[in-house]
Amino acid sequence: MEDDAVITRRHNGDIVALQVVECEGYRAFSAYTRLSLRPLTVIFGRNNSGKTTLARLPIFAASSLIDDENLYVLSAGDIRFGSSFLDLASMDQAHPRISFRISWDPGYSLGIELQHVTAGVEQHSVQPRQVTIGDLPPVPLELHQSQTQPAFRLALDALREDVRSKLDNHRRDLSRVVRGIVHVPSGRPPIQNTYTTREPTSWTVSEVPYLLATHRRLMSDVADWFCKSMDGTRIDLDQAAFAFRFVEESGRSMISVAESGRGIQAVLPVVTILLGIARGQQQARLVVVEEPEEHLHPSAHGPVADLLIECSSKAQTIVETHSENFILRLRRRIADGTLSADDIALHFVTEDHDVVPVLLDEHGTATNWPSGVFESDIEEAQAIVEAKLSAMGDMG
């Protein structure tokens, strides 16, 4: 594998591509955690291992580091990270502290260490302890107890002018990433029977019906994808003067998508947003997709993986998944040359919240596959064969 700085790629010529995000003391990840990023980054692991937290970490870190008041955020877009700083900090800390850092082009990075400070029974604040800016040594910050100004602003006033200038420059660069974030959560809302016609307001899951009703070429692309990838399923838009609905054609019958399987309803927003980005109808810098295979039959996981590969050629893409078939398709695409092994990062999250990079060679073969991961299918097949052989032995 090549060095992070060598394989970093800029999409559309001027879009920042993130390289690494790090944290310590953040939610389930109390120990130092490092996540390397590629054009396509895939995170998998067991339930409650922290996959969703990790997939959202670049959004949290980037949004926090450009925040003008606290240098940490409790929400970004449709994501709610917590209701207070203490919700964000790992629970096993006596003195809650969080540090995080994000790196992009060579020499560009920003990091912050935040400390929860208690001055009395009722008085507490969150103070920045130090910042890291590019290749400069960590810059310590003096604690302040002002109630009228943001703590980090008071601390940064003491920095040298050249250091402040570099910090502002890096924050402006990072803000471009934040403005270009697209998030596709799990637990996507079901499709309704009808919608009142209006213009879409954003490229989000909740606005997908209005995006499809407004962008006819996008609707056509989505319909083609379903027909090719979902056993001939045809999705169409049934539109009247002031309302519309989505219908599914199967054979000679036609039903509302609201009455079809949950899998089609759950994947429709995923396909719409990814195709919109992949086909150039929407600009994005960072796309985070949670459980794109949710409610889908395993046979459809592969086509979704192919779509994410296509999207990652236009915007840096992070995926959280439980699907073995999804990962197998990605490895197959490396083997057949569709996807370069250098353009994908595969991370396994253990039950102890350790992040294990899984190394793939040019044939899609994993050189350090985690023990016990996705081995249940093999074990079940082996048990079936052994049972059959045992029965044949009894008959003999």
- No. of helices (H) and no. of strands (E), the chain: 11, 18
Question: Do residue 176 and residue 214 come from a single domain?
Answer: no
Question: Do residue 165 and residue 311 come from a single domain?
Answer: yes
Question: Do residue 229 and residue 358 come from a single domain?
Answer: no
Under 8 Å between Cβ of 81 and 52:
no
CATH of the domain at 145: 3.40.50.300
Question: Do residue 33 and residue 129 come from a single domain?
Answer: yes
Supply the pLDDT for residue 375: 60
Question: Do residue 32 and residue 102 come from a single domain?
Answer: yes
Q: Pick from 105, 267, 76: which is nearest to 186 by CA?
A: 267
**Cα(64)–Cα(74) distance, integer angstroms:** 9
Q: Pick from 208, 218, 209: which is nearest to 182 by CA?
A: 208
What tens-digit pLDDT sequence spans the chain (396 residues)? 333 333 333 334 444 689 999 999 999 999 999 999 999 999 999 888 899 999 999 999 999 999 877 789 999 999 999 999 999 998 877 789 999 999 998 778 999 999 888 766 566 788 888 888 888 888 887 765 554 555 556 666 667 788 888 888 888 889 999 999 999 999 999 999 999 999 999 999 999 999 999 999 999 999 999 999 988 889 999 999 899 999 998 766 789 999 988 999 999 999 999 999 999 999 999 999 999 999 999 999 999 999 999 999 999 999 999 999 999 999 999 999 999 999 999 999 999 999 999 999 999 999 888 887 876 554 545 555 565 667 676 665
Question: Do residue 176 and residue 164 come from a single domain?
Answer: yes
Query: Per DSSP, what are the bridge partners of residue 320?
Result: 43, 290
Question: Do residue 79 and residue 158 come from a single domain?
Answer: yes
Q: Tell the residue number behind the tokens 């064969």, with chain if given.
A: 385
3-state DSSP call for residue 119? coil
Domain boundary among 262, 282, 302: 282
pTM: 0.89
Domain boundary among 257, 282, 307: 282
Supply the pLDDT for residue 363: 92
**Cα(132)–Cα(249) distance, integer angstroms:** 56
Supply the pLDDT for residue 7: 33
Question: Do residue 260 and residue 364 come from a single domain?
Answer: no
Residue 83 host element (H or E): none
Chain center to CA of 18: 13
Question: Do residue 143 and residue 114 come from a single domain?
Answer: yes
Distances (CA, A) of 145 to 71, 115, 124, 154: 16, 13, 9, 10
Question: Do residue 34 and residue 103 come from a single domain?
Answer: yes
| Full domain range(s) for residue 373 | 1-180+284-396
Under 8 Å between Cβ of 324 and 374:
yes
Question: Do residue 156 and residue 200 come from a single domain?
Answer: no
- Give the number of domains in the chain: 2
Domain boundary among 255, 282, 309: 282
Query: Looking at this protein, which amino acid is placed at residue 292?
Result: P
Supply the pLDDT for residue 127: 82
Supply the pLDDT for residue 8: 36
Question: Do residue 130 and residue 110 come from a single domain?
Answer: yes
Supply the pLDDT for residue 106: 79
